[in-house]
Structure 1
């Protein structure tokens, strides 16, 4: 039993609705995910993260849950989920599902009952007010929602919603709500999931504390205890967009979250990419607190939401937007970009490759977004974040091999125009082409799985005196690693003068360098523009 499996994993994020349509009704489903598990295993993934498949009106991509204990018919049924879990286990793939408990859909039975009567037992499941408080958080979607409070005629009160008005916030300080959450967790644990992603985890904590974050961390302690007693290998992965100095509050002392999505690294990674300067990212890495022994960070390049640029300075935000989202239609929520990875890098294979090399080099566990491994693009004709939620491009046939349904019945249109159109960018073509992005990322992922020190060791950013070059050293789990990446288009000569290094043995590189293989320390070696080199280090005997 490997209770720390998540610290040396490659997680692949699957949007259930857009991945593959097994019953040809136009919507991706659980049966479609199951059908392509071997593809994910071949890529090098060891776990999949499924976006919501629960009963839903689907006004927010399934994050508006109507019933956490039902599979929405458009995605299949419980038997389909059981078969997916069974087949994933046979392939050695773990399955992480969403635990969307900061809010529900307004169509959820709890909310409908709560609206009817102030004396309903469900009334206390949500947050109500006769008058909204004078000071509260701004809405999560500025420009779409004006306030986090909306009036409900049936209830005769205002209700709180951090996100959309059709997603009322749960009262996580209510003991009955916690009991409902326990029922949901036990149900899916019994079916065999390996982890839960806590959507909007920092907001959950605040709501559990009655508006006070510090007073709400007991919720994470409770959830950790609850899953650990029943299935010790189960993980809690939290969506927590807070400054790194607060990470320790969410990890606790190995008694809260197992994993935390590091928005700070994500933002500064794109700042470094935009400036072709590794120093912003190096500074962010150096500023990370060391997680407790049973915890780690999770990192990604792009996900199912916008590229969030909050917390960057105005000048930093401007640099990222000028580099990766210069057109107004690429912006969303006054804080981010609604673009896919490949298009942000102008489909430049070298730049995309070094971005992945950086991702796989960061402290923690990497997450790959479906379709990014083949270079899919976005559809800016779709509203808000839906721009980055389009059908997976499996081949060059009609509907990109996603579905046999009529094109106008698809959950979202396939990308058929531009350099990222499905006829040019698809899995089938990528598998045939020896030097495709798919093969490159697959090789990188499999190599990364052998680098256990990244998940469980201590890290240190090394000074190279070259602004564009990022060099991270890892020590732990019986190995020492050096990961080097050049974020500029100019070749660099890197010197490593660590006194305890005897030699460097190359693990992976963007090309076969003339002196690849083994280098003696002190070492000086070239790295191409947008190049990368990974080494295992042999240390001098004490």
Structure 2
């Protein structure tokens, strides 16, 4: 296996709007990120992934881009970005940008031209279709509720939007679209950025037959379309292969065999993908995350272990619990009570970081930030997905009651990840000054869960994550070792081994608040305990949320 720098890296994801406000307007910005670079460096990571900072009307918090080569004024200027990039590089930190090219904003120049007339030069930059019997071309649904087709009076056709109606999908069949995107990517890479995280990149290829026929039934979800690999190979050939960078594709609806096509070591497309199978273990078949149900550890282990073994030696895993679209992991798969929050946050971190792949830490994960429980009305939520789902499921169709939906939002809303970073216990948690209203409310527990408290406590989640990052650089087995799951049917513990060049690592984790006994929790022969979230080792006894990592001497 050829080794690449991104395999040995740890990535820290920054959601700029919620990270640090430097100009006292209640919105995080690029100068705020720059002010916190020493903190990020102290954690021991190598790469910062920035969520979109491009010019945008902000219908979907920056994922609706109106100008790919300008900075959203909320976040600052291009000079601010250049200063951030320069200072990050000086500190040995790389910067990866979010690439959002399945769709643009409806306020992008391309779309504003495209909708003017059917013969406009930009018409074919987007996907336009005639009505079918007076209705939308097919029954595709937007990820943000409702139809994926929007009728436009100007020309009497529908345009496709798999997300908000203000996010029209680009037509990747048009080579002019592809070349425009590739030119833009090269422009950023020539600036010196270190790679791209590619938003829903496996949705860019759509079927040509939108109206269903016997020969061409319409797929329910246009993922992994007929030409997606051609487009990504072309992107790699014309752009990516010319730079020493890192690429990760967000790819909903993929399985390991798909990942081998996108990110196999010989695929010449991407370096790795984000898969979502493990993010669905607590979702309902009908209503998805809006009717969450009890998850099973055996199911979570089965899914993640499958990805470990099926990609081993053939492709590279991305490892994540959290991001800007997912609830906080300590509330989801751990225990966010004051008694167990720190212990279970450490346990979850270790279970993830000692698997094979590149780990991603989402801002606040390293201090054990939790889901927000002080949002008790839909008016408290800012996220378009959450608000549209409430309108659809509660107000329009009465599928859920208000109380049921608020409970679901507490569990699943993307806003759980988007409340401001909790820096200290002052008013507004040090995110923005007292007297300034943050763009979204803070989580009420910032007075106890914050960076200042974490840095003052040698037993905090922060220093545990820092130790994991140090160990990764010390022991190649953590990066490259082969993974084997032990006792897959145990509903309370997750135990696996890693083996590399004659060394063996064993991790055992208790996912329950019970004290239990397992023979394999005792130290294997000729090993050292290199990490634990308790001060002592009680052999085969596993205390609540205990994790132990042993390495052969």
TM beyond 0.5 = yes
- Mapped partners of 2:514, 2:35: distance in 1: 43
Identify the match of residue 213 of structure 1 among 220, 225, 232: 225
Q: 1:290 to 1:223 in 2, by over 3 A?
A: farther
* Aligned ranges 1:371-520 → 2 under 5 Å: 371-377=364-370, 378=372, 380=375, 381-383=380-382, 384=386, 385-404=414-433, 406-408=435-437, 410-415=438-443, 417=444, 420=445, 422-463=446-487, 466-476=490-500, 479-496=503-520, 503-514=526-537
Question: Contact conserved, 1:235 with 1:258, CA < 8 A, in 2?
Answer: yes
Question: Contact conserved, 1:12 with 1:47, CA < 8 A, in 2?
Answer: yes
Instruction: Report Cα offsets for 1:222-260 as digits up to 9, x if no partner.
Output: 222233432133424434342334222222434122111
Deviation at 1:208, TM superposition (A): 9.8
Q: What residue number does 1:14 align with?
A: 14
- Mapped partners of 1:223, 1:61: distance in 2: 26
Deviation at 1:297, TM superposition (A): 1.5
Deviation at 1:150, TM superposition (A): 0.5
**SS across alignment from 2:367:** coil
Does 1:138 find its partner at 2:141? Answer: yes
Q: 1:297 to 1:195 in 2, by over 3 A?
A: same
Instruction: Report Cα offsets for 1:89-148 as digits up to 9, x if no partner.
Output: 122211111000000001001000011121111100000011166544322123xxx100
- Mapped partners of 1:362, 1:267: distance in 2: 20
Q: What residue number does 1:303 align with?
A: 323
Does 1:528 find its partner at 2:518? Answer: no
Q: What residue number does 1:368 align with?
A: 361
**SS across alignment from 2:447:** coil
Q: 1:188 to 1:405 in 2, by over 3 A?
A: farther
**SS across alignment from 2:202:** helix
Question: Contact conserved, 1:269 with 1:280, CA < 8 A, in 2?
Answer: no
TM-score (norm 1): 0.82
Instruction: Report Cα offsets for 1:484-503 as digits up to 9, x if no partner.
Output: 21112233444459xxx862
Uncovered stretches (5+) of structure 2, i.e. residues with no partner: 211-221, 285-291, 387-413
Q: What residue number does 1:265 align with?
A: 278
| 394-403 or 439-448, larger mean C-alpha shift | 439-448
- Mapped partners of 2:321, 2:115: distance in 1: 41
Q: 1:45 to 1:208 in 2, by over 3 A?
A: farther
Q: Which has the higher strand share?
A: 1
Question: Contact conserved, 1:254 with 1:292, CA < 8 A, in 2?
Answer: no
- Mapped partners of 2:139, 2:236: distance in 1: 29
TM-score (norm 2): 0.80
What is the number of equivalent residue pairs in this alignment?
486
Q: What residue number does 2:193 align with?
A: 193
Deviation at 1:56, TM superposition (A): 0.4
Q: 1:475 to 1:270 in 2, by over 3 A?
A: farther
Does 1:72 find its partner at 2:101? Answer: no
Deviation at 1:281, TM superposition (A): 2.6
**SS across alignment from 2:143:** coil
Question: Contact conserved, 1:173 with 1:208, CA < 8 A, in 2?
Answer: no
Instruction: Report Cα offsets for 1:25-77 as digits up to 9, x if no partner.
Output: 32211111111111011112211110000000111110010011111122112
Question: Contact conserved, 1:375 with 1:437, CA < 8 A, in 2?
Answer: yes
Q: What residue number does 1:284 align with?
A: 303
Q: What residue number does 1:357 align with?
A: 350
Uncovered stretches (5+) of structure 1, i.e. residues with no partner: 307-338, 516-523
Question: Contact conserved, 1:298 with 1:367, CA < 8 A, in 2?
Answer: yes
**SS across alignment from 2:442:** coil
* Aligned ranges 1:298-337 → 2 under 5 Å: 298-306=318-326
Q: What residue number does 1:314 align with?
A: none
Question: Contact conserved, 2:320 with 2:361, CA < 8 A, in 1?
Answer: yes
- Mapped partners of 1:42, 1:8: distance in 2: 17
Deviation at 1:477, TM superposition (A): 5.9
Does 1:537 find its partner at 2:536? Answer: no
Question: Contact conserved, 1:207 with 1:216, CA < 8 A, in 2?
Answer: no
Q: 1:514 to 1:128 in 2, by over 3 A?
A: closer
